Structure 1
Amino acid sequence: MSSTISRSLAGRKARRRRSRVHSLAIDGNDCMRQDNIVVEIPTSTARAATMTSSSDPIPSLGQHVDFRQRFEEEINTFATSLVHREPKYVPSHQEDALAMARIDSSCETAIDHWMLAQSFGCVKATDLTEGAIELCQLLVGVDGCEETRKVLETLSAHESVSPKNFLRGLCAGAITRWVYLDTKPQLPSVCQYPQSDVLRSVLAATPNIYRRLVDAMTLEYLERHFATTIPALSKELTKRLHTILTNFRGLKSANTLTDLSDHINNFRVWERYMADAFEGALRLRLNHLRSPMKYNYTFPSSGQPFVEDKMISLYSEASRRRPHQVWLCLSPLIESWNESMDSSSHVIISPARVISS
């Protein structure tokens, strides 16, 4: 009888122990395997515990959450925190075309005032500075000072290439070369970021999230280190262009004091409008750098074939005849593709505006 009572008491104690174990499994945070019974213990205790072959951590029923999903959510939050002004949309082609129209308008107004302030002289490559020669070579598409001189003389003698149009070509070439082609911010490498160790772990675990992080940090860099310099850079490029345009200065009769005042005012207006043109081009370039789309900028040089679907002829020496050759480019061709450069995604944002024959 006594042995039966002892077994009954032992059974009750065992059930109470199992009940306590199960209550821990419901209320606890972490879990350990002990004698084939799942026991959840507080996180701090779990971290302090010494792991053995008989105490391997396993996820409890309450912790069956996809770790990768949680990890990606944390990384997404981290990526969002990196970008202060992340673009909500890719700039539309229509917006880009309008921006190009404003840039061209600012250039034309600037040139009008330049010509009021300064006469235009003949083109002589032997008198040009190195910067002027490089810009002229973009216009005529040749190398070497002597060859450039010959083509410039032929170009300037063309009936459709007026002094104003030639200056417009120089301004368009400067914007294309200095802004669209040469503006390539030197982005820091991943190892230069404070989060480089985290990024390497992310790359190994989730490559897609890694690419998003790098894109986010690129956007942050462009906002902090490129966008903020645009106003100052536009003024710097205007001064650089001013130096080149003075290579084509002609002779003028002596000015009166009133003429001198007009001369100075016209130069100031030229500087303001030309700086506006450079700033507009730099902001357009910034939008393209921030966009997932791929962009291409082409400046057709003298002698290249006229391509109907990519060019607009503004001044043709034979308007009734189909143009076949470019004499001078006044505005570059801008095209875009999607990230995979799929031909079906190709769009001409702004056709090249040229003088043709």
Structure 2
Amino acid sequence: GAGTDPAEGASLARVILEEFKNKKSRVIVTTHQSELKYFAYQNDRVENASVEFDPVSLRPTYRLTIGTPGQSNAFEIAARLGLENRLVEAGRSLMPVQEIELSNMIRDLKEKTYFLEQSYQEAERLRIELSRQKEVFQQEKERFEKQREDMLARARNEADSYLRAVKREANEAVEELKNLIKDKEKPPKWHEVEQKRQRVRELQVEQPWEEGSAQEAFLDLKPGDYVLIKNINQRGYIIEGPNSQGEVTVQVGILKLYVGQEQLVPSQSPEEKKYHRMNQGFLEKARSISKEIDVRGRLADEAIHDIDKYLEDANLVGVDSVRIIHGKGTGALRKAVRSYLQNHRYVESFQDGAREEGGYGVTVVKLR
């Protein structure tokens, strides 16, 4: 109340709390007295608590934290409201050493808790994203496995058809030869017998494609060209040229096949238009992306969200370095940005900008 010395008020409050404690009462006390914070640490049945205050944005979060005392932010708020820095520092120097140490301890604890929570939220976001990607990958894997089984089934069916055709034609040729030899009344002429033998020797399955020589067609093909594999009727693109056995490496979906040159026919990719659109979008992004991003005046979590998206785009188009303009101010936003960059997957290193770039109000980031 009026006319009360803070030290006397703290002593009186402590005695009253001791009385409540001895009576095993349950009470809630609000206070700015640091002595009562010590009192809570020294007694088992007394617990500190505080309504959280964001140490970066200096705004209340309205969340209750049990076990941690509140922290005075008078000097930070005064500086933000425009009080001269020399007056703020002069006032800070008049604080008792014990109060300064306690305040610094609480501030460090709150900032570490804040950044730990941010890290946890980021880890949870990545976990959900990885889970989603894993599900998509599993679906793609199942689709490719089914495609592979369908391809093999078609190949087996076509092979069976070819074998049946070969067997049927071979049987016909052999039967004609036997009938010719058995005809005793009209002995076969030598050239007739030789013709039948030659027909059996040259017997092969005719492929259903009418292209020219496969060897001639392959002379015009190179890695990256799309081809039709005749014996399985599937399309893919060439990865490598012929090896020592004359086989060409062809990518068909998720399968990598080794195919004889005679089985390849030039083909067009059904995805050429889609690829062109994707490539065009990439080139437009590469032309439009800026080498710097300005996050001044934003809250820490808003700035970090924008920086994360910006770094994704910069990495996509292959930018080697960028500048993040966060301003000088109290240094809180700069500290939050640098803490975020510390272990970022795309960041190799970072440093203050040169004097002409804005000094420590700008962070220059070198990307991996």
When the two structures are superposed, what TM-score results if normalisation uses the length of structure 2? 0.24
Between Structure 1 and Structure 2, which shows a larger proportion of helix residues? 1
- Between 1 and 2, higher relative CO (CA 8 Å, sep ≥ 6) is seen in 1
Choose between structure 1 and 2: higher strand proportion: 2
